[in-house]
Amino acid sequence: MSSTRDSRLPISGHIAFIGGGNVARSMIGGLVALGTPASRIEVSEPDEGLRAALARDFGVRAHALNDAAVLQAELWVLAVKPQVLRGVCGGLAMAAQRSRPLVVTLAAGIPIAGVKRWLGDGHELAIVRAMPNTPALLGASATALCANAHTLPEHRAQAQLLFEAVGTALWVEDEALMDTVTATSGSGPAYVFALVEAMQAAAIAQGLPREIAQALIAQTIVGAGRMLIESGEDAATLRQRVTSPGGVTAEALRCFAEGGFDALLARAIAAATARGGELAAQYAGTAA
């Protein structure tokens, strides 16, 4: 993975978001907060209430029809569910062939080749596949990006800035790894929430009041995450530093090891990766 951020390159031209759900909303909010003029952001969203909220909250132009949103746009963000992406692309194929935009797709499991085929195989479209996660809603997303061969350095810079508006963005050069990305960081927040649920239940079973357990564990997750990001140390080093031989933490970690914690997590991520591949086949067919 590599990061190619260049803060001297602003996002230029008009941006069209196809779909105005939570992730699109967070990205729009991040872009506006960082100085992108709302007048250069167009959104298409079939839900009238969502359209009105986007226009009211951010001052962007919201449309009921996809064609209207992309009319002036040089950057398209396809923020729709995987199961509807094919139809959306088919409806936009003529516009894509005419204007040759940079296309960014957020649909989990759909390979770049599928998006390219649906938008018109005979044209050299620059397409970036992105896998953000739900902390984008708080400006704390971890996003992985990969691109096809038609994506130029200036396209990469635009995509980088787009996702740095809502967190961290890193490039994965091998698209085959995107199912693993989805299974790791894409689904990762759910794994953390499951761990928190289990810790809370265990603490409550030991007599700790629910509200105290919830507050302590939530802040522990926040603090541990900050240590990983800000300390410059890897997880193994940080774990060792808080684990005294024969102490309380060592005893808990011993139980984890005896219960097969590492192997269980490895199986879970492998299963999620395989499921990502199955969904890709279901929604997009072969990527060739």
Band the pLDDT of 285: cuts 50, 70, 90: low
pLDDT at 13: 83
Tell me: pLDDT of 287 over 60: no
- For residue 116, the surrounding DSSP H or E stretch is helix 112-120
Please name the residue that has the structure tokens 């894409």: 186
> What is the DSSP secondary-structure string of 172-185?
-S-GGGHHHHIIII
CA dist., res. 29 & res. 262, Å (int):
38
DSSP symbols for 75-93: EEEE-S-HHHHHHHHHHHH
Tell me the whole-structure pTM to 2 decimals.
Answer: 0.88
Minimum mean pLDDT range among 6-15, 177-186, 209-218: 6-15
Question: 3-class SS at 195?
Answer: helix
- 129 φ/ψ sector (left φ>0, alpha ψ -120 to 50, else beta): beta
**What is the number of other CB atoms lying within 10 angstroms of the CB of residue 51?**
19
pLDDT at 44: 97
Give yes or no for residue 67 having a pLDDT over 80.
yes
Per domain, the residue ranges of the chain are 14-179, 188-276
Question: Tokens in use for 199?
Answer: 């810790």
> Which class would CATH give 14-179?
alpha beta
Closest listed residue to residue 34, CA positions, set 55, 56, 61, 15: 15
Give 158's pLDDT tier (boundaries 50, 70, 90). Answer: very high
Strand partners for 142 = 168
Alpha-helix residue ranges (DSSP H) falling in 165-284: 178-181, 188-205, 210-230, 235-241, 248-258, 261-284
Does 14-179 match 188-276 in CATH topology? no
pLDDT tens by residue, 231-251: 999 999 999 999 999 999 999
| Residues 204, 210 contacting (CB under 8 angstroms) | yes
pLDDT bracket for residue 284 (50, 70, 90): low
User: Which amino acid is residue 46, in one-letter code?
Assistant: P
Output the pLDDT for position 122.
66
Residue 19 has pLDDT above 90, yes or no: yes
Tens of pLDDT, residue by residue over 49-65, are 999 999 999 999 999 99
Give the CA distances from residue 242 to residues 202, 237, 246, 272, in Å, rounded to whole numbers and listed in that order.
21, 9, 12, 31
For residue 154, the model assigns a pLDDT of 93
The CA-atom distances, in angstroms, between 188 and each of 86, 93, 94, 192, 282 are 27, 34, 37, 6, 23
H/E segment holding residue 142: strand 141-147
CA atoms of 39 and 268, how far apart (whole Å):
44
pLDDT, residue 4, reads: 39
Domain range 188-276, CATH architecture: Orthogonal Bundle (1.10)
Confidence category of residue 3, pLDDT binned at 50, 70, 90: very low
Q: Which residue has the tokens 């967190």?
A: 167
Q: Residue 222 class from Cβ within 10 Å (0-12 exposed, 13-18 middle, 19+ buried)?
A: exposed
Asked which of 5-14, 108-117, 127-136, 266-275 is least confident by mean pLDDT, the reply is 5-14
